[in-house]
Amino acid sequence: MNKSQRFLLSLLAIILSFALFVTGILFAEKMPFLIVLGILGLSGVYYFVFLIVKKSSKTEH
């Protein structure tokens, strides 16, 4: 997999994780277990952003 494919896959994962976060937050009052889904979604966003930043800093030097 080349760099652009990995980057697009990471962006897709960020969007999906953010969608999980938003779903968890919006519907947490109706179904309390969705709080966990929101936490996992937000953690996924942080993780994939970290990967993108880490890989971009390696290519910068």
Give the predicted TM-score (pTM) of the model: 0.84
**Dist. CA 49–CA 55, nearest whole Å:** 10
pLDDT tens by residue, 6-25? 889 999 999 999 999 999 99
Report the C-alpha gap between 32 and 42 in whole angstroms: 16
Mean pLDDT for all residues in the chain:
90
* Segments making up each domain of the chain, as ranges: 3-58
Evaluated on CA atoms 10, 37, 42, 50, the torsion sign reads negative
CB of 48 within 8 A of CB of 21? no
